[in-house]
Amino acid sequence: GENVEQHPSTLSVQEGDSAVIKCTYSDSASNYFPWYKQELGKGPQLIIDIRSNVGEKKDQRIAVTLNKTAKHFSLHITETQPEDSAVYFCAASNRNRDDKIIFGKGTRLHILP
């Protein structure tokens, strides 16, 4: 089955700097890669996703890149702000097989003032 590895587990960046979180997956058939943000005391919330037919997707200050050959994908947050502090989860699944979404272990992002 699918296995998703996420790094780093904790990341601290200065406010205004960029943050990058990286994930790898094992099943080459996976074709859907969402990213969820979990704020303290809340449930995870989808912030962006990418499908295997594109290599990059942007939404304001966040972007995701996908390298299918290497089986890795990344989340990039630019111009970080205090409200970006949260736990971020990457995930992977196969939409064609309607497989369950497998989540990474999460990255706790701290934005330093």
Please state, in angstroms and rounded to a whole number, the distance separating the CA atoms of residues 109 and 84.
Answer: 8
For residue 43, state whether it binds other proteins (rule: CB under 8 A): yes
User: Per CB under 8 A, which region of 11-19, 40-48, 62-70, 76-84 contacts other proteins?
Assistant: 40-48
51-70: which residues touch other proteins (CB under 8 A)? Answer: 51
Question: What does the angle CA 69 – CA 23 – CA 73 come to, to the nearest 5 degrees?
Answer: 45
79-98: which residues touch other proteins (CB under 8 A)? Answer: 89, 93-95, 97-98
For residue 40, state whether it binds other proteins (rule: CB under 8 A): no
User: Count of residues binding other proteins (CB under 8 A)?
Assistant: 24
> In this chain, which of 45, 54, 58, 79 binds other proteins, going by CB under 8 A?
45
Concatenated DSSP letters for 35-60?
EEEE-TTS--EEEEEEETT-SEEEET
Please state, in angstroms and rounded to a whole number, the distance separating the CA atoms of residues 109 and 100.
Answer: 26
